[in-house]
Structure 1
Amino acid sequence: MGRNRRDSARKRMAELRAREAARAHRRRALATVLGALVVIAVTILAVVLLRGGENSRSGYRGSLAPLTRQADGSVVMARPGVSGPVLEIYEDFQCPACKSMEEATGKTVKELAAAGEAKVVYRPFWLFRNSPEPTRGNSLRALNASLCAPADTWIAYHDRLFAEQGPENSPGFRDEDLISWARQVGIGDGGFASCVTGVRKSAQIDQADAAATKAGVQSTPWVTLNGRRLDQKTVFTPDGLRRAVREVAR
């Protein structure tokens, strides 16, 4: 009987150890799963925050060719060494058709420049100089603010201005909004606010208008490729714009 009791006790002890080992294994497995879920959650959060930051800077998330500002206020977007084909875009930030073009082919324009397939020259000007208020003032304030923006963050601000464009005959592009949007796309003040409120770029505004007049611009968007105006169907379709640029490059 004593031997049987000892065998039974050893058996129960072995069973207890087996159950404890099984519980320990489950705890380790659960800890591993929970750790993996935490890593996944942190990764997802980081991606969401990153994308949120990108959205606050610009709607475009692809690569960009370097941006440089010319003396007359226009902005060149091109890879080093790329001199053509030259795609010039005359636009007004209060122009509804310009906003429609940005929505339709703005991404395509940036992609062509980033790929080294074109030298893009943005030429915003004061189309509504002789229009009644509030359209006239909206156009002027947005243009001046774009000229105040530094070249390296200019395209993000350019895109934001079109995204925020209000109805043509309604008050818009208030100085405080123009300054706030600049901060949101990464423009440090550096005199930006005073440049906006003081309309400090009047000389470049006159130069931009003169360049548009010299080019024969009569409406916006007015897009030329190596000096030749593109038709609206080409300007407003990604495939049409790519095809036009590539045909000229042959």
Structure 2
Amino acid sequence: MSKRTSEAARARIAAQREAYRKQEQRRRITMVVTVAVVAVVAVGIGWWSIAQSRSEDLAGNLSPVTVQSNGTVVMAKPGVTGPVVDIYEDYQCPACRQMEETSGATLKNLAAEGKAKVVYHMITIFGQEPTKGNSLRASSAARCIADGDKWLAYHEKLYKNQPSETVNGFSLDDLVKWGKEVGVTDSGFESCVRGQQKAAEHQEYSNKILSTQKITGTPTVMVDGKPLESNTAFVPSALRDAIVNAAKG
């Protein structure tokens, strides 16, 4: 190979190396930019999700709360008949506690705004111990409260003190104590709780609901008889939209 030929070959190799170096540089820049964009989008989606799932603040006074003869509890302003929002819950159900913490304020606000009639149905969906016994004790104790406002405060207290699904909880002593803490003054409350006087009617109501309604788990939220998807019930903004839109339809 002549000197001129070898110089030309070296020049081509150098040019190829330079072109490859620039190509690799562009690839790295593209990769960095892509990763940055994906990260920004992910952060944006994360913030959007947080914003969408953020609980509402209670806007003001609650609407009247009334305990019905069958043990259900209605929260609605006088004259408001719909949309009817039926909430099927179990005090031992962790997802029910989560929904109360996330969407409970939305339900209270909608009722106070006159945009919904909210009906609480406490049932026992568990069939094994200790969860069944825990649920029965809590629900029958709540049925010992006739005052709607005190019932609602007790409802929240029970969720805040929900036991693990693997232990015996909701002891009779605690159920009595928590009632007094939320202001229950009825002289018959303690004996009603300790004697579990409402346990049989609670179990009868649970059996009726589970046999007549399409309840496959708790919590179940229905708007005018139509079940909502769980991801709607757990997202306050979506829950509000679903209920408000039901009134328009």
The TM-score with structure 2 as length reference comes to 0.73
Report the Cα distance in structure 2 between the residues aligned to 1:72 and 1:78, rounded to whole angstroms: 17
Could you tell me which of 148, 161, 167 is aligned with 1:170? 167
Deviation of the 1:205 alpha carbon: 3.3
Work out whether 1:161 is the aligned partner of 2:158: yes
Answer yes or no: is the 8 Å Cα contact 2:72–2:120 preserved in 1: yes
Name which of structure 1's ranges 212-221 and 153-162 shifts more when overlaid on structure 2.
Answer: 212-221
Name which of structure 1's ranges 210-219 and 106-115 shifts more when overlaid on structure 2.
Answer: 210-219
Q: Percent identity?
A: 46
Answer yes or no: is the 8 Å Cα contact 1:72–1:208 preserved in 2: no
Deviation of the 1:60 alpha carbon: 6.5
Report the Cα distance in structure 1 between the residues aligned to 2:151 and 2:85, rounded to whole angstroms: 17
Deviation of the 1:239 alpha carbon: 0.3
Could you tell me which of 79, 82, 85 is aligned with 1:81? 79
Report the Cα distance in structure 1 between the residues aligned to 2:115 and 2:139, rounded to whole angstroms: 28
Answer yes or no: is the 8 Å Cα contact 2:58–2:109 preserved in 1: no
1:149 aligns with 145
Work out whether 1:135 is the aligned partner of 2:131: yes
Deviation of the 1:64 alpha carbon: 1.0
Answer yes or no: is the 8 Å Cα contact 1:93–1:99 preserved in 2: yes
Structure 2 unmatched runs, 5+:
1-56
Could you tell me which of 181, 187, 190 is aligned with 1:193? 190
Matched residue type, 1:171: N
Deviation of the 1:233 alpha carbon: 1.2
Matched residue type, 2:212: K
Deviation of the 1:63 alpha carbon: 1.7
Answer yes or no: is the 8 Å Cα contact 1:85–1:119 preserved in 2: yes
1:115 aligns with 113
2:225 aligns with 227
SS of the residue corresponding to residue 89 of structure 1 reads strand
Report the Cα distance in structure 2 between the residues aligned to 1:60 and 1:145, rounded to whole angstroms: 26
Name which of structure 1's ranges 185-194 and 171-180 shifts more when overlaid on structure 2.
Answer: 185-194
Answer yes or no: is the 8 Å Cα contact 1:94–1:165 preserved in 2: yes
Matched residue type, 1:127: I
Report the Cα distance in structure 2 between the residues aligned to 1:192 and 1:60, rounded to whole angstroms: 29
Report the Cα distance in structure 1 between the residues aligned to 2:153 and 2:58, rounded to whole angstroms: 8
Aligned length: 190
SS of the residue corresponding to residue 148 of structure 1 reads coil
Report the Cα distance in structure 2 between the residues aligned to 1:61 and 1:198, rounded to whole angstroms: 38
Q: How large is the RMSD of aligned CA atoms in angstroms?
A: 1.5
Matched residue type, 2:67: R
2:38 aligns with none
Answer yes or no: is the 8 Å Cα contact 2:125–2:206 preserved in 1: no
